[in-house]
Structure 1
Amino acid sequence: MPETTFRRTYAIEETQHGATLMTQFTPIGSENAQNLSRLGSVKRGWISGICWSPNGDTLAISSAAGLALYIDGFGGTPDQLIENAHDGPVKSMAFSRDGTLLATGGADTVVKLWQVDPETRHISLRTTLKSHIDSVESVAFSPLGTMLATASTDHTVRLWNTEIGIQQEVYYGHDAEVSCVTFGLGGEVLLSAGWDTTIRMWDLKGETNGTVLGRHDDWVRSMRVSPGGTMLATASKDMTVRIWDLYEARQLSIYQAHNGGADAVSFSPTGSVLASSGRDNTIRLWDTSTGELVNSIDAHRKPVMALDFNPVGTMLASASGDNTVSLWVVDAS
């Protein structure tokens, strides 16, 4: 796939209510997901993750080389490039819901909080959080942004106060590397999963302590909570994607998703579509109301390791072991 050397605008417009819209493209839904095509691609070396800012004006890419930000458009040279953002590969990242902070976790065992400039949208280091003793594989902000959860190969999940930059809790329970963490039920619970095949639920009110929500047949590589916060999607080396009901603490469905293993999942903003990707180099899109596979795309030349819908669902970003990030839209031609 050729690299996009010219800029593709995200087509963001400010509305009278302060919301943002990508008016150039159609929201991706179950009725049109079969019509996705590639808008453009960039090469960024060994890529570990991608994430959109909450208003969709910035796409952040983490890699072995550091951080790259594409602001207002995609292609060519990044608008900001921070080489050696960590002393080693950047393994994970997440924006706070209000877009004022970007958190990153590194192979160097530390977590960094970066302040987002409201005018330029460039980032600058605010503080470094130290407590993990091994690589930080996943980071997630609480809905209010006052807490940050981190997951590590040191077998722990940790909770941090982002306002004063201190560790609040350490959660023990996994007996192997923890690969992913997120908040659910409006921030009332933490969810974590990893190499021990379990998905665990941590009640932040202290009523439960690492309750096992369920298991895969092999290690869990990633997870995402639905837009309403009530459902969880998990992707595993066992080649399946599973959907869980967090209120009832039970498994709802299993998608036989990707030969060789599933690596990533992402819900569309409406929750009507779930995108998954894996070791078979494909992206697959599922109708969450029926569980039906609505599209399978031969997306990259190597495994597709990360996915993220933009905030209004008009673009799906994918990152691959072929060192490229691609944007997918409805009928890009």
Structure 2
Amino acid sequence: MSQETQNSLELESAIGFSGHVVSGLRVHPNKNHLIYPLGWTIIIKRIKDGKQDFLHGHNNNVSCLTVSKGGQYIASGQVNFMGFKADVIIWDFEQRSIYAQLSLHKAKVEALSFSPNNKYLVSLGGVDDGSIVVWNIETKQAICGSPASAHSAGHCLTVKYSNHNDNIFVSAGSGTLRVWELDVPNRKIQPSECQTGKLKRIVKCIELADDDRFVLCGTTSGDIMRVNMKTGLLSDCGPVKTKHSLGVTALRLWNSGHLLVGSGSGSFTLCSSTNFKILKQVELEKGVTSIALRGEDQQFFVGTESAQIYRFSYEDFKAELISTSHNSAVKDVAIPYGTSELFATCSQEDIRLWHINKPKELLRITVPNMTCNSVDFMIDGHSIISAWNDGKIRVFAAASGKLMMTIYNAHKLGVTAIAGTRECKRIVSGGGEGQVRIWELQPRSHRMLGSEKMHKDSVTCIKIKSDDKEFVSASSDGACIIWDLERFVSLQIVIANTFFQAVCYHPEEYQILTSGNRKVAYWNVFDGSPIREIEGSQSGTINGLHITQDGKYFVTGGDDKLVKVWDYMEGIVTHTGIAHGGSITTVKVCNNSRLLVSTSADGAILCWKFPHAASS
């Protein structure tokens, strides 16, 4: 289908941060931009106003990121499937374009580091590769390579260049700590083993002193080793009294000579770099993976596994949460009727309300240890209805997030789909056991109006007709059932050899559109007969499906990680969006057809410019 490659969707904004990428959060040397990965994409975000630029070029998730000392280049590595090469891309920061694409490592690039004068880039392959390669940035060619660790040692996990010498860098990992010297004329790198005596440690992160006299190593044991760079001998190890729980995961030397230390438990400390004594400490949400300094501005940024970004000032050492996102699969998206300013997403433990133009979290509704499977706004905009895996339907106030009502034991195997009627008095729900139920909401209570079990597997999607007289339920049992909402009897059953994931009415409501295993199908509402079937994906399931209000276009997204905009009448793709690093879980077009929201299994929320925006 040539149309897929002809037109690309334009990404307007992105909510998310690949917080698990070690040292993935960086501040550009100009002090004005934050740089970080999100799935396949690298985001350059202006600190002042939040404006975003996007770098696209990887064909799988970004696994590591670094910025050159002068800020001219960004380098990023990726993961790939076993047996395939994992690319390193050097980006031109000013042009926002690819400067060089380097391909030698297998399966994963673990870490990257630029030499101090932008001459070379050193790259470290992952577990299945195990090699270190030094690249000439000017010629875009590899100078030399070597196994990263000795045969007797474990895997190498990190690499860092000297602050002053283009020919010296350090690597560390499981039982290995080496200082390397680059011999350019002979195209060789020579390692010198550092001796830590009886101390056997797995090093997760390293930091070099400003004068390159010693290297500091953060370990999984929760202590920090200081090793002399010239002699390769261990100087000292600390802290003695207070170990960092779940290991030291991030290290940075502060301008004052103090040490910023992040741990796997989320504790973030300011330590003395001489005796490792803890001077200040705060607790963050989940493990710290990145510390990015903003020069001499007495300010720095911290990224965590929970995809949060915090801003700190050195004076008060208080954490200001500046960026939030989901760090697990986004299950559903809902847009309030009659507005295109807001949307809600649901995931594990929470529902979040976002402003669409300047992606910012406005409200978070948290239910600990539970997963929200589906969410919808009541049409009056006063309440949010939600479906949870503990079998409960929860109704929240849209403005405050306050719990207004709970319907207990709504479904035995969890509530998997939900929708509200236009008169805002009834809810239709579907469960993991295949039941479909109708609930009446009363001022201070509720009652069940009907329950039917015609589906043999979990209900994946429910859509109600605009007149509140009919609704359709889709199930992974391969059936879509069109129901009479007033009498609660089935009118038509649509059956196909597929796992139905999504369904929607055409705005004129004489047809329904379904998605499942690689296919999108059009069906006649009146007799359930098939009208048309098109190949929606080359691989995997189509999980998300939504149609525009004028019925001219529809949007799909699924396991192939591609957002596709289709012409409804022609049945062809007009535009394709490539940026997601995880399977796309849902897609929605805003009411004014200006923006398209897509979400994925890695927690990312992307807002695209809809290419067929309705003329005002």
1:224-243 pair list within 5 angstroms: 224-236=504-516, 238-243=517-522
- Give the Cα–Cα distance (whole angstroms) in 1 for the partners of residues 472 and 327 of structure 2: 30
- The amino acid that maps onto 1:171 is E
Q: Aligned equivalents of 1:226 and 1:297: distance in 2?
A: 23
Correspondence 1:49 to 2:332: yes
Query: Which of 193, 203, 207 is residue 484 of structure 2 equivalent to?
Result: 203
- What is residue 72 of structure 2 aligned with on the other side? none
Measured against aligned partners, the alpha-carbon deviations of 1:82-125 in whole angstroms (never above 9, x if no partner) come to 222x65111100111221221000011100111223xxxx4321
Q: CA deviation at 1:318?
A: 0.2
- What is the distance in 2 between the residues matched to 1:315 and 1:139? 24
Deviation at 1:244, TM superposition (A): 1.8
Answer whether contact 1:45 1:65 (CA < 8 A) is retained.
no
Q: Give 1:248 shift.
A: 4.3
1:185 Cα offset (Å): 6.0
| Other structure's SS at 2:402 match | strand
CA distance in 2: counterparts of 1:143 and 1:150, whole angstroms? 15
Distance (Å, rounded) in 1 between the aligned partners of 2:382 and 2:364:
18
Structure 2 Cα separation of the partners of residues 231 and 98 of structure 1: 26
- Residue in 1 aligned with 2:364? 81
User: Is 2:285 the partner of 1:312?
Assistant: no
1:126: which partner in 2?
A: 404
Deviation of 1:72 after TM superposition, in Å, equals 5.9
If the length of structure 1 is used for normalisation, what is the TM-score?
0.81
After superposition, where does 1:209-228 map in structure 2 within 5 Å? Answer: 209-228=489-508
- Identity fraction in percent: 15
Q: 1:173 & 1:65 partners in 2: Cα distance?
A: 30
Q: Are the counterparts in 2 of residues 227 and 271 from structure 1 also a CA contact under 8 Å? A: yes
Provide the secondary structure at the position in 2 that maps to 1:220.
coil
Distance between the aligned counterparts of 2:350 and 2:485, measured in 1? 32
In structure 2, what is the equivalent of residue 140 of structure 1? 419
| Runs (5+) with no aligned partner, structure 1 | 1-32
Q: Output the TM-score relative to the length of structure 2.
A: 0.45
Q: How does 1:31-50 map to 2 (within 5 A)?
A: 34=7, 36-43=9-16, 44-46=326-328, 47-50=330-333
Q: 1:72 to 1:173 in 2, by over 3 A?
A: closer
Opposite residue 75 of structure 1, the aligned amino acid is: P
Give a deviation string over 1:34-67, Cα, whole Å, max 9, x none.
Answer: 4631111112111111111122222111010301
Instruction: Report deviation, 1:211.
Output: 4.4
Match of 1:37, as an amino acid?
E
The question of whether the paired residues in 2 share the 8 Å contact of 1:71 and 1:79 is answered with yes
Match of 1:246 among 516, 525, 535: 525
Corresponding residue SS for 1:260: coil
Q: Distance in 1 between matches of 2:349 and 2:513?
A: 29
Q: Count matched residues.
A: 291
Amino acid of the residue matched to residue 163 of structure 1? Q
Q: Which has the larger radius of gyration?
A: 2
Instruction: Report the AA paired with residue 525 of structure 2.
Output: L
SS in 1 for 2:489: coil
The equivalences for 1:103-114 within 5 A come to 103-114=385-396
Residue 555 of structure 2 corresponds to 275
CA distance in 1, matches of 2:486, 2:358: 42
User: Deviation of residue 191 (structure 1)?
Assistant: 1.0
1: CA distance, partners of 2:327 / 2:508: 34
How many Å separate the matches in 2 of 1:146 and 1:65? 26
Taking CA–CA contacts closer than 8 Å with sequence separation of 6 or more, which of the two structures ends up with the larger relative contact order? 1
2:347 is the counterpart of 1:68? no
Matching residue's letter, 2:521: R
Aligned to 2:99: none
Aligned residue number for residue 197 of structure 2: none
CA 160–302 in structure 1, closer or farther in 2 if over 3 Å, else same: same
Q: Say what the alpha-carbon RMSD is for the aligned residues.
A: 2.0
1:265–1:69 Cα change, 3 Å: same
Confirm or deny: 8 A CA contact 2:433 2:456 kept in the other structure. no
Q: Distance in 1 between matches of 2:486 and 2:601?
A: 39
Aligned to 2:435: 156
Matched, 1:177 2:150: no
Contact kept, 8 Å, 1:146 with 1:162, in 2: the verdict is yes
Q: Structure 1 231/299 Cα, relative in aligned 2: closer, same or farther at 3 Å? A: farther
What residue identity is the alignment partner of 2:341?
D
Task: State whether residues 184 and 230 of structure 1, in contact with CA within 8 Å, keep that contact through their aligned partners in structure 2.
Answer: no
Q: Are the structure 2 counterparts of residues 246 and 143 from structure 1 closer, same or farther at C-alpha, using a change threshold of 3 Å?
A: farther
Look up the SS of the partner of 2:455 in the other structure. coil
Cα distance per residue 1:193-221 (max 9 Å; x no partner): 21210111111243x83344312212111
Q: Which runs of structure 1 show a deviation greater than 4 angstroms over 4 or more consecutive aligned residues?
A: none
In 1, are the aligned partners of 2:593 and 2:610 still within 8 Å (CA)? no
| 1:265–1:277 contact (8 Å) kept in structure 2 | yes
